[in-house]
Amino acid sequence: MKKNLLFYFILFLSITTTVEAQRKKSKDKKTDQTSKVSPKSKTPKYSDFVNKDTKTDDGLFKIHINKEKFIYEIPKSYLGKEMLLVTRLKDIPAGLGGGYVNAGSKINTQVVVWEHYKDKVLLKIKSYDAVANDSLPIYKSVKSNNLEPIIYSFDIKAQNTDSTTVLVDVTKFFSSDVKAISGLPSRFRKTYKIKRLDDSRSFISSIRSFPKNIEVVQNFTFDADEPPSNASTNTITMRINQSMILLPEKPMMPRIYDKRVGYFSIGNVDYSSEALKADEKRYIKKWRLEPKDTEAYNRGELVEPIKPIVYYLDPATPEKLRKYIKQGVDDWAKVFETAGFKNAIMAKLPPTKEEDPDFSMEDVRYSSIRYVASTTRNATGPSVSDPRSGEILESDIIWYHNHLRSYRNRYLLETGAANPSARTLDTPAEDIGQMMRMVISHEVGHALGLPHNMAASYAYPVDSLRSGSFTQKNGIAATIMDYARYNYVAQPGDKNIRFIRQLGPYDHYAINWGYRTIPNATKSEDEVKTLDKWIEDKADNPVYRFGGQRFDPSAQTEGIGNDQVKASTYGVKNLKIVAKNLPNWTSNQTNNYEDLDELYGELLSVWGRYVGHVTGNIGGVYEFNKKPSQSGDVYVPVTKAKQKEAMAWLQKNVFKTQTWLLDKNILNKIEETGYTDKLGRYQERTLGTLLNYRTLNRMIDAEVIQKEFYAASDMVKDLRKGIFSETNSTKNVDLQRRNLQKVFIARMENLINDETTKNNDISSIVRGELEVLKYQVNIASKRAINTISKYHYKDCYAKINDILNPKK
């Protein structure tokens, strides 16, 4: 027993000693670890980010670059300041947007503010869609119901030595796929099945700071299942440009928009109104032109603006073209004199490095005309404007290298019959220069705030366009902002004709209306009475009318003259001469068929436009924008006589087989097949316009407001009788007509099955005409005609029967 007690006592001492030793060891270990812990990390200093190895670019913000890190040094005085963030496509893959999206296109424009919050800087979007006077109680509600989204949160890395600036790292922001500033809108992501941004192939190309803006270029590569080009790569690579522009401290006093004069515009909902609903307000986009000498300006003297509009030419512009581009800008100087300003706009060559080493086309203080080496046939006139006021801040007009080829081709096709200088692939240099000058003038007009005005070409009588004295003085349309590019009306033998467009009286009128300073006006509403008077003084003169493309046949793109039927008759007459001579002017000179092929395709397009001008009269409605203080109707249907005349023209010049467009001397040189399909597509397009719900509905509505109207039922009957005229004789039906007749039946089927036509006259008209046609083709199939015509009629009968008696 004693031995057992002694054993347990020794065991207890052993365990106690071991535990104590472990405790001491643990304590010693903790002590040792504590002694090795470094002091608390110090707060990052300015010098950690900006030092001798840092590259710094000074401007709106200082940009510090350390290896691959980009740091913004934001002055605290700029926190809360409103800036404009503009996302553009700098370089794009071929075929993006179906070929209708160009490098330089704006994707998004939004107002942003940098805001300090605790230890962060927030980048927030500020909207001007809803506004209210900040002195009114409702302002609080507007703010509460329009909370500004935060698009990114940045940690403050450090401050400068006097704590007047904060440093934020923007590397991740600009190298990530941030949707708010993405160059790929959702529609592109869906179309091209974008999966993700590939970080390994994406990077910030550059960040540059200027006095009023910062420019960021992103090189982004996306994985995409269906890219627009280079499909085997499953890749879309693009360069995106982010421009951040400081907005003016004091917004320009805006000018209230009026749809009777053409201007691009901005809009918002103003809750400051005392009316029973919020006011929807719109303001025009315009440059801030203010006279240097207000008193002299008010006396009616020409005065220079405090800050003129200056465009700098791209150094890449070919020297032989520079003078024409410069003229295209400078031509507007005379227009601005109408608004009381002299030397208001001009073009200059950019300064050399020696003259100004800091000059850059990307600096928002400088507007430019870029010459882009691209196969795109286009030119654009975009601008950046302040959404608070509509003030245009800068503009970069883009000219694409191949655009002049389109103008050469159109010049040959539309004027070659009457204009000897156009009958060549080597268009005279002066003619090419004048075309370029007018294109630049057109794009400058856009950059000044003017949209297209397709009604301006309707101002001049058609036969006046055959007069040398008239066209030399007035041009071929009342504005450069129409798409009236060439005089296709003038006939062989007409003398001293101007064939190329020019600025016109509407341009002077619109610039005066938008830019003239109105004395004693301290707010936008003060100007309205004067602006209304300027419009109403000119209201009865078609030269000063503004109209947009829709349902109005007097506002159609590419048209000229106030009678589309007469103008298109002249145009087709000229095209027949051109078509006959096309091989002589192309392939016989070059000893290849490439130009003949290209120009024949474009000749069909020109013919199609002439056809479209006439087609627009059927079911057309003229739109005359007015205020209630003006007399007359706003909407006036085209007369029955004019619509009937248009239908007769279409039967003769479109639906009857146009053998002059199927010239074997051309077709058997350029293609092995497809001739009838090409021509058929234009005939089908015309039928699609006529047998369209909207066209027919306007004709049905005209019955209510028009005493003499062209009934929809009569139009469809006339169409059917003309297209199926062979059913009344023993004539064979040629190939083009057989195809056309099938298209007519298919279009009628579309209408009768369209849900929008079920409960109105359209379904009744279609059913009635198909019943008549079914009887006609059945009788015609039994007459003594060739085999294919018999088969064709039987096929038509079967198709109609299936439409009228669908199988369940």
Q: DSSP of 396-451, one letter per residue?
A: EEEEETTHHHHHHHHHHHHHTTT-GGGSSSS--HHHHHHHHHHHHHHHHHHHTT--
Are the CB atoms for 90 and 240 separated by under 8 Å?
A: yes
The closest of 159, 254, 765, 242 to 531, measured between CA atoms, is 254
Rounded Cα distance between 510 and 480, Å, is 12
Rounded Cα distance, 675 and 645, in Å: 29
| 3-class DSSP state of 53 | coil
**Integer Cα distance of 256 and 240 in angstroms:** 34
Question: At 253, which amino acid appears?
Answer: M
Q: Is 522 helix (H, G, I), strand (E, B) or coil?
A: coil
Q: Are residues 496 and 567 in the same domain?
A: yes
State the Cα–Cα distance between residues 438 and 443, nearest whole angstrom. 9
Asked if residue 599 lies in contact with residue 405, where contact means CB atoms within 8 angstroms, the answer is no
As given in the structure block, the two tokens for residue 621 are 């409605």
Find out whether 261 and 507 touch, Cβ atoms under 8 Å: no
- 120 neighbors 153 (Cβ within 8 angstroms): yes
Angle between helical axes of 505-515 and 528-538 (0-180°, round to 10): 170
The tokens for 558 are 């590419």
- At 264, give phi and psi (nearest 5°): -65, 155
Task: Round to whole Å and give the CA distance between 157 and 165.
Answer: 11
Parent domain of 735:
670-804
Query: What is the Cα Rg of the chain in Å?
Result: 35
SS3 629: coil
One-character DSSP codes across 327-344: HHHHHHHHHHHHTTBSS-
CA 395 – CA 401 distance, rounded (Å): 19
Instruction: Please report, for residues 209, 319, 339, 358, 660, the alpha-carbon distance to residue 361 in angstroms, rounded to integers and kept in the order given.
Output: 13, 18, 29, 10, 51
Which residues of the chain have a pLDDT value below 50? 1-19, 21, 24-27, 29-40
Q: Are residues 139 and 203 in the same domain?
A: yes
Coil, strand or helix at 669: helix
Residue 298 lies in a domain: no
DSSP letter assigned to residue 148: P
Tell how many helices (H) and how many strands (E) occur in the chain: 22, 23
Q: What is the DSSP string of 265-322?
A: EEEEEETT--SSS-EEEEEE-B----BSSHHHHHTT--B-BSS-EEEEEPTTS-HHHH
For helices 640-650 and 564-585, give the axis angle rounded to 10 degrees. Answer: 20
| Domain contains 152 | yes
Alpha helices in 586-690 (DSSP H): 587-590, 594-615, 640-650, 664-670, 675-690
Residues 6 and 61 in one domain: no
* Residues 527, 511 contacting (CB under 8 angstroms): no
Which tokens hold the place of 452?
A: 């297209």
Tokens of 378: 């286009």
Estimate to the nearest angstrom the gap between the alpha carbon of 352 and the chain centroid.
33
641 CB neighbour count, 10 Å cutoff: 10
- Do 23 and 145 sit in the same domain of this protein? no
Query: Cα angle at 551 between 549 and 557, to 5 degrees?
Result: 30
- 530 and 399 in a common domain: yes
Residue that terminates a domain, selected from 585, 607, 641: 585
Q: Work out the angle between the directed axes of helices 640-650 and 712-723 (0-180°, nearest 10).
A: 20
Question: Are 134 and 22 contained in the same domain?
Answer: no
Residue 647 resides in a domain: no
Nearest-5° Cα angle at 131, 129 to 137: 150
Dist. CA 174–CA 149, nearest whole Å: 18
Q: Are residues 549 and 680 in the same domain?
A: no
| Domain match, 350 and 483 both | yes
Structure-token pair, residue 465 = 């366009």
- Distance CA(779)–CA(773), nearest Å, equals 10
Q: At what angle do helices 712-723 and 675-690 cross, to 10 degrees?
A: 160
756 occurs within a structural domain? yes
Q: Using CA atoms, how far apart are residues 284 and 267, in angstroms rounded to an integer? A: 9
Please tell me the total count of domains within the chain.
4
Q: Is the dihedral of CA 544, 548, 552, 557 positive or negative?
A: positive
Where is the domain boundary, 558, 585, 612?
A: 585
> Does 376 lie in the same domain as 489?
yes
Pair of tokens at residue 235 = 């890749």
Beta carbons of 179 and 198 less than 8 angstroms apart = no
Residue 99 domain-assigned? yes
Is residue 206, in this structure, part of any structural domain at all? yes
pTM assigned to the model: 0.87
* Nearest CA among 466, 534, 467, 528 for reference residue 506: 534
Residues 6+ apart with CB under 8 A from 242: 85, 86, 87, 88, 174, 181, 215, 216, 217, 218
Nearest to 408 by CA among 262, 602, 243: 602
Neighbours of 638 (CB within 10 A): 25
Q: Which residues are within 8 A (CB) of 523 and not within 5 positions of it... i.e. 6 or more apart?
A: 253
Q: What pLDDT does 2 receive?
A: 45
Which domain-ending residue is among 537, 559, 585? 585
Q: Same domain for 336 and 480?
A: yes
81 lies in the same domain as 4: no
Q: Helices 564-585 and 594-615: crossing angle, nearest 10°?
A: 170
In whole angstroms, how far apart are CA 96 and each of 89, 194, 354, 381, 702? 11, 13, 39, 20, 42
Instruction: Answer yes or no: do 26 and 59 share one domain.
Output: no
Dihedral class, residue 126 (left if φ above 0, else alpha if ψ from -120 to 50, else beta): beta
In this structure, is residue 402 part of a structural domain?
A: yes
**What does DSSP assign to residue 230?**
-
C-beta pairs of 91-94 under 8 Å, 24+ apart in sequence: 91/238, 91/239, 92/238, 92/239, 93/227, 93/228, 93/229, 93/230, 93/236, 93/237, 93/238, 94/228, 94/229, 94/230
What 3-state class would DSSP assign to 496? Answer: coil
d(CA 273, CA 275) in angstroms, rounded, equals: 5
For residue 540, tell me if it sits in a domain.
yes
pLDDT of residue 498: 97
